[in-house]
Amino acid sequence: MGSFLRPESADMPNLIADTLELNGLLDRTALQGHLDQAAAAARAAGQPLAVLTMDLDHFKAYLEDQGQAQAQAVLLRVAELLKAQQPAGGSLVHLGGDEFVMLLPATDLAAAHEKAEALRAAVQAACADLDGPAPLTISLGAAASPAGGDWNANSLLALAEARLTFGKKRLQPHHNRVWAGTLPSDWYHRFEIQAEQWPNLDLQPA
């Protein structure tokens, strides 16, 4: 599995890895094992598996403007909120920096999109009182496994990441949004994803 940590996140100080671990979140080293286990369980049960990839908007600017202590407090606030919203049987992983992944067993794409929108709104509300150069919000990419058992768990994760990246780079506005829809053909090639295999939810961007 490739690295999904964005360059700007990789450049950030490792603000709260120890604190997040103490709070019970998984770290990026645990992601592959939990993803493989969740995929195997989904295939065995004949149920879908969904993945949400998440990235805080404007966090680097907030860190530079408000300092490390405030940025650490914000990440902890968001991590606790996401953890509280994690469904039974799900997994929440802190990739590093301001990036998270949530695994959602027995969840199709429509339900995953609904969950992502709820998380987006919750983070927006939780961070509305913060000072900073731009509002702190969250963007999410959602993907779910196709019907049947012939799918690759790493491709599922890659598709969620591709949709997150597409939403932040190509859709307007570039923040505070969820994308679970189709991608340009070259994006599927770049992420080594077979486009026709995966379900899409092409809702009009807000």
In a domain, 3, yes or no: no
DSSP string, 7-62: HHHHTS---SHHHHHHTT-EEGGGHHHHHHHHHHHHHHHT--EEEEEEEEETHHHH
Asked if residues 32 and 84 have their Cβ atoms less than 8 Å apart, the reply is no
In a domain, 2, yes or no: no
In a domain, 163, yes or no: yes
What is the overall mean pLDDT for the chain?
89
In a domain, 41, yes or no: yes
Name the token pair of 194: 């077979």
In a domain, 205, yes or no: no
By C-alpha distance, which of 117, 145, 137 is closest to 38? Answer: 145
Phi, psi of 94 (to 5 degrees): -95, 110
Split at pLDDT 50, 70, 90, the class of 24 is: confident
In a domain, 78, yes or no: yes
Tens of pLDDT, residues 164-179: 999 999 999 999 999 9
In a domain, 1, yes or no: no
CATH code at 162?
Answer: 3.30.70.270
pLDDT over 70 at 8, yes or no: no
In a domain, 7, yes or no: no
pLDDT over 80 at 100, yes or no: yes
Asked if residues 53 and 161 have their Cβ atoms less than 8 Å apart, the reply is yes
Task: Please measure the distance between the N-terminal and C-terminal CA atoms of the chain and give it in whole angstroms.
Answer: 32
pLDDT over 50 at 5, yes or no: no
Number of domains comprising the chain: 1
By C-alpha distance, which of 131, 139, 135 is closest to 175? Answer: 139
Give me the torsion for CA of 80, 93, 110, 195, rounded to 10°.
150
Q: How far is CA 186 from CA 36, 122, 200, in A?
A: 27, 33, 16
160: containing domain: 14-197
